[in-house]
Structure 1
Amino acid sequence: MKRSIILLLVLTSSVFSACNKFLDTAPQDFVTPDNYFNTEADLDRALNGVYNRLIDNFGRMYCRGLFSFLVISDEFFYKSITVNQLKVMEFDAGQLDVGKLWEVAYSGIDRANLLLENVNKPVMDEAKRNAIKGQALFLRAYYYFILVDNFGGVPLKLSSTKSPTEAALPRASVADVYAAIVADMKEAEPLVNDISSYTNNERITTTVVQAILAKVYLTMAGAPLNDATKYQDALTYVNKVIASGKHSLNPDYSQIFINHSRDINEPKECLWEIGMYGNQQGAVQLAGSVGIENGLECPDDNIGYSGGALHITARLFNLFAADDPRRDWAIAPYKYVVTGGVPTKSFYTAAQIYERTCGKWRREYETQSPKNRVYNSTNFPVMRYADVLLMKAEAENAVNGPNADAYNAINMVRRRGYGKPVNTPDAAVDLAAGLSKESFQAALRDERGRELCFEGARKHDLIRWGLYVSNMQSLVPDIAATAPAAYKYAGNAAKNVTARNVLFPIPTTELTINHTVTQNPGW
């Protein structure tokens, strides 16, 4: 070993003596903050890099994880997976996907920090600069929202990494992380553009900031902070979105998801979507797995392959009334089978509830060709107008009780779900009047479960309502009583849930290099 080092030093000295003139030349193709961020185009590229972490080629963000294996709840279980998997909640702090979620979120934060530190360098139009700054501020806050939601208090890093030898940061409190999130989002609100400035809904706009900030406040009002004063703040921000007049419900529930599969942007219903591109073939690596990871079972590549990994629980199925049209769209009523080389639809019987899969995004509607078995260009909706209205109903009920505004908001969602005019009262589908505050909240929880199933909301909602552990544990006898013998394993994830599962463990990779960080309880 020593001989090799000495030889390397000799060779290095020779190279240095022969190349002094070359080494004196300033590098032209090495990107640093000193020679970058000099133009508007540089800022745009850097901003794209901040957005990029929301996809993550390894699937921990919205490519797959945040609507599937990272948000296990009482909605679904994984087909044929029984033990030793994150998918059945049997894992430890060394679990790769949990570690990657942490890593990718902090990568997005660091990219945002670097952009914010250099956003004032170029000479450019100030309105455009502000829009870039506002998006970077919001995205930094959103990555922290993902982190605090999943890990609790985390190190709060608001400047870019300059050196690998920088001092490690301890965990900030949950309250301090949320304070930073709110500060960034409030600063971003007047800076970002209106939705009408874009031809798609993949950028952060004014109403996106307002809607997500309302979601943040609703979360702060619930567990673990339980700050009930934040319901009023949530109400203020959902009212801003509604008053903008920029958004409305698509009259056809199923069309929302058909549009996603067809790569059609619809900013009226969908305020913000994570933009997926291509099918991971070629130079652009920005595809996702919406409708594949969580698709209806189909073995045919031309229609669009999906193994149908996410199977539904009877609890979710029974949450819908039999005449609610959303049930047989959100939950696949059929799968594809191939007989004699011909693919056909095979409809499930009433006894085959546990064989049914997610049906919201159906690959038969995709227009891209050829279709890839693992990746596609279907966008994922982070915030829909239906969610805004349901947040309105929840916040209104919390602040003022179940008043007319709260009823109107939830009933608009229900009417659309049943294919009725959203602004016309309909006794057949409207939520019954005269409910207590507690009964209205219970109805609101069920409505969110129906409307937003498979959209990554259920686990988050149950945790902020303080119901995650009890709902998962009560799922065990439910499945034991309702599942056929071949699907008794569907309760395995629920069996493994204890109080520690309200949060993920701080990853082993972080604990190894940051000795100021403590582990979450139970891990």
Structure 2
Amino acid sequence: MKNITYILILLFAGVLVSCEDYLDAPTQSTMDESIIFSKYELAKGAVDGIKEVMGQTNSYRGRFLTHYGTNTDIEWVHTTSSSARSDLSRYINSATNTDMNRTNVYWAMLYTGIERANTCIRGLRAYGEPEPGTEMGQLLGEAITLRAIYYSDLLKAHGDIVARFEPITSETIYLPKSDRDVIYKQLIADLEEAAILVAWPGASELTATTEQVNKAFVKALRARLCLWASGYSQRGDIVRRSNDPELARDVLYPIALQECNDIIAHEGSFVNLESSFETVWRKNCEEVITAGNESLWEVPFAEGRGRHLFTYGVPHQVADQYTAQPRGGTYGPLPNVYYDFDSKDTRRDITCVPYTWSQSNPAYQELEGVDTWYFGKWRYEWMTRRVTSTNDDGLNKIYMRYAEVLLMAAETENYLNGPAAAAPHLKKIRRRAFEEADWAEKVDTYVDAIGSEEDMFDAIVEEHAFEFCGEMERKMALIRWGMLKSKMDEAKGKMDQLRNQVGDYADVPSILYYSYLDDGETLDIYGLERGETDDKSGDYTYQFNTEDDGDGLWLSPSKINDEKIELLYTNNPDQNQFWPIWQVFIDSSNGMLTNDPLE
């Protein structure tokens, strides 16, 4: 797999223990910085050390990337039982959540990464002579960007957080929360500088892989933060936009659009959409990290770290011909999502999988109930490496795709210049989603019929769901659009219609017939498509049947029961958009932190 070495320089030893220890020898620390950040190899090791925290047990690896993002109008946790993870999915946000209320959880790890970044930024500015196009300039741009990544994830999880943009001193050990608007403005300014310093994807040895920060990613992250900062979010008991005029849409949307256009102008050289939607995810599972295609940047994991496939992949119940790790399937698409896709949309069957792998070796595909679908973007059977770890799969998390740049461009163009300006970007996304023979109807006719800004916005919101289902991008998008609860309520209504086969789901079949292809493991199914209602009992070996009711029906009110629909959320999502600061950090903050909203 990827050969990543994280060099933990003694400069950071204090960050890994206590603030008091870190502050014991400021003179020595300064002397170390003059040596470290004046020599490229040492400075590179320090910047690599910023990323080391991503793989820590309860950091991105086993808490943030595995817990944040559900439930939404397209994704949910499968279990109906209460647990620390499922409580968070259902907007039961307790500061003493047992998965999160730990001293080594991602909150501590990300702030450790921020402190390392602050030290690197200070040292590189003082001793590295960082200029655009130089190795030291690249390192400074990367350090600034990694800090912005950590802050952006803390912002989307918690709203108002502690702002630290300088290394800790004895006067700044304990700080209160800052208004998120202050942090957004700092990050947007920082990323403008970082974009000047770093090279385009693949244009340098230092940007050769998707694990390295590059200009396209920095610009895309800046655009994303502009949209977040100018969007809706919960502030106290109210969901509203910022009152800061510097964060108004009329100010930030032009910035976001310019960043997107800068990236789009380099399509074909430094960025590209993959040729097919399936190719995006096969490359991810095959661990292809060559820069210059759709993946703009990835959270890098070594083989023994990371739980993305472990959490989101199509489940394998036992060690079998594809994996020694029987995992996957913690979350999945809502049952209606498969039927909301156009039947000709090639993203549908990649995104929504109705089966698990059997409890046998070799394994074969087994149908689940209509209430249990899995994300098909991540599959052990697509990997070129056999996963043997019991706890980790080592698969990188794609943090930003070029497809998001195109949809951000469409959204900002629509607001600033109208639907005609947005149309080319939406068409590009849909051309990749449909076969060329269907472009006239599914791309051109569909998009050209969108005549108003409101209708184009609605189309972009819908396209976002089809493009990013399972990638845990939807929750923050719904928050900034001011649509979190309303869209989740809409999803509840869709599931109710689906189980009763009424309204938009009146033509969804009740019965599935299935056999296996010649390989003995792959399902051949009739009855998944709308309108497939013929009696196929003579053509297929099996008919869908479940042990719990034995009715032989794929779809009925008993399959998607009231309890599961209502568990999409327990508490009001719009009143619980953000996680609290975990109690262990409040208790150790010397009275500076609370979960009370800022004025």
Identify the TM-score tier after normalising by the shorter chain.
Answer: 0.7 to 0.9
Partner of 2:447: 432
Partner of 1:412: 428
Shift of 1:408: 1.1
- CA distance in 2: counterparts of 1:160 and 1:214, whole angstroms: 27
> Identity of counterpart residues, as a percentage?
24
* Amino acid of the structure 2 residue aligned with 1:505: P
Aligned ranges 1:58-457 → 2 under 5 Å: 58=58, 60-61=59-60, 65-66=64-65, 68-88=67-87, 89=90, 90-99=92-101, 100-120=105-125, 127-163=134-170, 166-196=172-202, 197=204, 198-224=207-233, 225=241, 227-229=248-250, 230-245=252-267, 246-267=270-291, 268-278=293-303, 280=304, 287-301=305-319, 302-304=321-323, 305-339=326-360, 341-347=361-367, 352-403=369-420, 405-420=421-436, 426-430=440-444, 431-435=446-450, 436-457=452-473
Kept in 2, the 8 Å contact 1:219–1:464? The answer is yes
Shift of 1:66: 2.9
- CA distance in 1: counterparts of 2:366 and 2:81, whole angstroms: 26
- CA distance in 2: counterparts of 1:263 and 1:364, whole angstroms: 13
Shift of 1:513: 2.9
Shift of 1:517: 3.0
1:63–1:401 Cα change, 3 Å: farther
SS where residue 442 of structure 2 aligns?
coil
* Amino acid of the structure 1 residue aligned with 2:583: T
Kept in 2, the 8 Å contact 1:195–1:205? The answer is yes
Shift of 1:175: 1.5
* Amino acid of the structure 1 residue aligned with 2:41: A
SS where residue 111 of structure 2 aligns?
helix
Deviations, residues 496-517 of structure 1 (Å, cap 9, x unaligned) = 2343211111222232233233
- CA distance in 2: counterparts of 1:307 and 1:236, whole angstroms: 39
SS where residue 353 of structure 1 aligns?
coil
1:134–1:255 Cα change, 3 Å: same
- CA distance in 2: counterparts of 1:157 and 1:75, whole angstroms: 35
Kept in 2, the 8 Å contact 1:402–1:440? The answer is yes
- CA distance in 1: counterparts of 2:346 and 2:468, whole angstroms: 14
Aligned ranges 1:467-486 → 2 under 5 Å: 467-479=483-495, 482=498, 484-485=557-558
Check if 1:40 corresponds to 2:60: no
Kept in 2, the 8 Å contact 1:147–1:154? The answer is yes
Relative to the length of structure 2, the TM-score reads 0.74
In the comparison of the two structures, how many residue pairs are matched? 476
Q: Which segments of structure 1 move beyond 6 Å, counting only runs of 4 or more? A: none
1:380–1:78 Cα change, 3 Å: same
Shift of 1:109: 0.8
Deviations, residues 360-390 of structure 1 (Å, cap 9, x unaligned) = 0111121223533431222111111111111
- CA distance in 1: counterparts of 2:387 and 2:189, whole angstroms: 45
Kept in 1, the 8 Å contact 2:66–2:311? The answer is no
1:170–1:312 Cα change, 3 Å: same
Kept in 2, the 8 Å contact 1:311–1:354? The answer is no
Deviations, residues 78-103 of structure 1 (Å, cap 9, x unaligned) = 22342253423334112244452322
Shift of 1:232: 1.4
State the Cα RMSD in Å. 2.6
Shift of 1:480: 5.1
Deviations, residues 341-366 of structure 1 (Å, cap 9, x unaligned) = 43112356xxx432221110111121
Relative to the length of structure 1, the TM-score reads 0.84
- CA distance in 1: counterparts of 2:348 and 2:336, whole angstroms: 12
* Amino acid of the structure 1 residue aligned with 2:199: N
1:67–1:254 Cα change, 3 Å: farther
* Amino acid of the structure 2 residue aligned with 1:510: F
- CA distance in 2: counterparts of 1:120 and 1:83, whole angstroms: 49
Shift of 1:166: 4.0
- CA distance in 2: counterparts of 1:296 and 1:307, whole angstroms: 5
Kept in 2, the 8 Å contact 1:55–1:274? The answer is no
Deviations, residues 253-295 of structure 1 (Å, cap 9, x unaligned) = 11111111111124311111112221x2xxxxxx212222001
Shift of 1:439: 0.8
- CA distance in 1: counterparts of 2:572 and 2:55, whole angstroms: 28
Kept in 2, the 8 Å contact 1:67–1:455? The answer is no
1:154–1:407 Cα change, 3 Å: same
SS where residue 426 of structure 1 aligns?
helix
> Aligned to 1:490, which of 564, 582, 590?
564
* Amino acid of the structure 2 residue aligned with 1:428: K
Kept in 1, the 8 Å contact 2:335–2:372? The answer is no
- CA distance in 2: counterparts of 1:233 and 1:308, whole angstroms: 39
- CA distance in 2: counterparts of 1:121 and 1:69, whole angstroms: 37
Shift of 1:244: 2.4
- CA distance in 1: counterparts of 2:489 and 2:355, whole angstroms: 29
* Amino acid of the structure 1 residue aligned with 2:586: L
1:475–1:83 Cα change, 3 Å: farther
Kept in 2, the 8 Å contact 1:192–1:204? The answer is yes
- CA distance in 2: counterparts of 1:377 and 1:511, whole angstroms: 33
Deviations, residues 199-240 of structure 1 (Å, cap 9, x unaligned) = 311111111111111111111221133522121111111001
Kept in 1, the 8 Å contact 2:427–2:447? The answer is no
1:472–1:33 Cα change, 3 Å: farther
Partner of 1:510: 585
1:80–1:142 Cα change, 3 Å: closer
Shift of 1:309: 1.7
Kept in 1, the 8 Å contact 2:370–2:560? The answer is no
Shift of 1:162: 3.8
Kept in 2, the 8 Å contact 1:155–1:170? The answer is yes
Shift of 1:333: 4.0
Kept in 1, the 8 Å contact 2:163–2:177? The answer is yes
1:290–1:64 Cα change, 3 Å: farther
- CA distance in 2: counterparts of 1:168 and 1:505, whole angstroms: 18
Gaps of 5+ in 1: 1-30, 281-286
Shift of 1:56: 3.3
SS where residue 469 of structure 2 aligns?
coil
Kept in 1, the 8 Å contact 2:426–2:447? The answer is no
Shift of 1:486: 5.5
- CA distance in 1: counterparts of 2:387 and 2:278, whole angstroms: 24
**More deviation in 301-310 or 390-399?**
301-310
- CA distance in 1: counterparts of 2:595 and 2:201, whole angstroms: 41
* Amino acid of the structure 1 residue aligned with 2:65: L
Kept in 1, the 8 Å contact 2:74–2:491? The answer is no
